[in-house]
Amino acid sequence: MSATTTETNGEILVVGFMDSKILDSQRIEQVGRELQDAVPQAMHKKLLLNFRGVSFMSSAMITKLVMLNKTCKAQGVALKFCEVSPNVLEVFKITKLNKLFDIQTTEEKALSSFEKKGWFG
């Protein structure tokens, strides 16, 4: 059974999670593998993780997200998160990962934020 869902929204690959609590080490390994496998599937170099329904995740899962971020940077894939629950967002803030990750409130905002150009492009 898959731990994540994937769908394409325009040019953006949207990945969702099947579990509300991501705690079990085997499940975390599976989620980590599926997230890494999603990076090359992001044909237009845009990857969105939708955390809808995820209320808790272990520190091991957060490590997987940091590794995913490194993979995306290395392959030139823009990575954004959306619909992060208050509990999970608090963990990101405590660990200062809210500065590392681009976290948007809703999927709509996240999707449209991919279209916004930065200073140099």
Give the model confidence (pLDDT) of 45-81 as tens digits.
Answer: 999 999 999 999 999 999 999 999 999 999 999 999 9
* pTM score over 0.95: no
CA–CA dist 67, 80 (Å, integer):
14
Instruction: List all residues 6 or more positions away from 74 whose beta carbon is below 8 Å from its beta carbon.
Output: none
Residue 7: DSSP 8-state? E
Residue 2 sits at the vertex; the CA angle it makes with 14 and 80, to the nearest 5 degrees, is: 25
Give the span between the Cα atoms of 105 and 14, in whole angstroms: 15
List of domains in the chain: 4-113 (3.30.750.24)
Structure tokens given for 24: 């079990």
pLDDT digits (tens, 9 = 90+) for 88-118: 999 999 999 999 999 999 999 999 999 865 5
